[in-house]
A and B are shown apart, each in its own frame.
Chain A
Amino acid sequence: MQPGVIPSPKTGRQLVDEYFIENRTRLLEIAAYLDRLDRTDPSLVNRDFRVRAFQEAIALLADPSASDGPDTRVERIQLLLSDPTTEPLPALDTKSARGAYDRWTLGVA
């Protein structure tokens, strides 16, 4: 990853000391969310594009190459969740966004 314009005032060790616990909490929340979905309906990943997108995004978190090049983990996940098309919609379909783009044409379970 390219170095920042404004250097971090904290060292890597200090960032771990300061932020490890709250990010450990976030990690466990995601794990528990996925367990909850599995307990309820393990087929959702094949039937709901939002669950599929979530699972593919998690794979990017663990990809060591994700921090190489101009796109960081957060940018790669943002793009995975984004509508990649360029043509305007012919008319309004819905008022609100859903958080992920259905690139698999799975629809919503």
Chain B
Amino acid sequence: MRYIDLHAHMVSRTTDDYVRMALTGCVAVTEPAFWAGWDRSSPDGFEDYFRHLTDFEPKRAAQYGIRHYAWLCLNPKEGEDRALAREVVARIPKFLELPTVLGIGEIGLNRVTRNEIATFRDHVELALEHDQLIHIHTPHLEDKFKGTRTIVDILTEYGGIEPSRVMIDHAEEHTLPMILENGFWTGLTLYPQTKVSPERAIDMFERYGTERICVASACDWGPSLPDAVPHFALAMRRRGHDDALIDHIIFDNPAAFLGQSPKFQLRGAEATPAAPAMPRSESDASPAAGIAAA
């Protein structure tokens, strides 16, 4: 089995999680910038985070044969602070030329406030200005329907948006149709509590087909599984679906969306053995990998 986890917050995960992902066939992850669980105090804090995403994390993933790519933004949970958002957005362009940055994300809405919407628009315009792919977070729980509808309405206002270059993530049964009907890609987030279980995700594939739909773990600092995608594959087999369909969903689909960026390359990652010898600690890490002990 091979798979791409299109949404994984690896800065929150341990090295053991990279090992679990490699052992289960993960060849690439893409990591959107997100909320740390607390609000950052300055634009410098974001810039350090962006350096973590674009420098340290690709090196850490590479030790396990996994390609690591990033999306950059100021996330929706911190989008209420307009002054901070403007300063952070101004600092993003210098990172966009880096070889592992795929686009702007995960932008979006949290509680659907006026300021969040203004910050969302700033990021959309930044993406258009720099011809970037866009990755979008939709709100949680009772806010998801209203937030998704607002996001779709805003995006369709922009004449320059190509829906096929936009991923509107965290869809559920009540938001999936409006995303697909407007030509966007979407993602189903496999969480143990909120969002979608593997069984409900399979129901949605059976109802709507596989076109422009991905699955991802969105593993982070909350209840989540770094190997949620292989768990989904197992649930697909249990339901009686064949390996070709599973491969199409967990590999071909994310590769098709991400492959719209010329930076996204899989050659080499697939050829790498799934479980290379791993360093046990920072002090064992190869200096060549850039993770030498301080």
- Listed in ascending order, the chain A residues whose CB lies under 8 Å from chain B are 2, 4-10, 14, 18-19, 72, 74-75, 78-79, 81-86, 88-101
- The reply to whether A96 and B146 contact each other, CB–CB distance below 8 Å, is no
Binary A-proximity of B107-125 (CB < 8 A = 1, otherwise 0) = 0001111111100000000
Residues in B whose Cβ lies below 8 Å from that of A14: 240
Binary A-proximity of B41-72 (CB < 8 A = 1, otherwise 0) = 00000000000000000000000000000000
Distance, CA A10 to CA B236, complexed state (A): 11
- The reply to whether B206 and A4 contact each other, CB–CB distance below 8 Å, is yes
Which single member of B172, B200, B240 contacts A9 (CB below 8 Å)? B240
State whether A89 and B114 are in contact (beta carbons under 8 Å apart), knowing that A5-B209, A6-B210, A81-B142 are contacts in the complex. Answer: yes
Measured CB to CB, the closest approach of chain B to A64, in angstroms, equals 19
Residues in B whose Cβ lies below 8 Å from that of A99: 141-142
Q: Is the interface of A mostly helix, strand, loop or mixed?
A: loop
- The reply to whether A83 and B115 contact each other, CB–CB distance below 8 Å, is no
Q: Is the interface of B mostly helix, strand, loop or mixed?
A: helix
- The reply to whether B77 and A95 contact each other, CB–CB distance below 8 Å, is yes
State whether A78 and B114 are in contact (beta carbons under 8 Å apart), knowing that A8-B239, A97-B143 are contacts in the complex. Answer: no
Residues in B whose Cβ lies below 8 Å from that of A96: 140
Of the listed residues B111, B140, B203, B245, the one surrounded by the most CB atoms of chain A closer than 10 A to its CB is B111
Distance, CA A107 to CA B36, complexed state (A): 29
- The reply to whether B200 and A74 contact each other, CB–CB distance below 8 Å, is yes
Measured CB to CB, the closest approach of chain A to B192, in angstroms, equals 14
Closest residue of chain A to B39, judged by CB?
Answer: A95
State whether A6 and B113 are in contact (beta carbons under 8 Å apart), knowing that A74-B173, A75-B173 are contacts in the complex. Answer: no
Considering only residues 117-165 of chain B, those with a C-beta below 8 Å from chain A are: 117, 139-146, 149-150
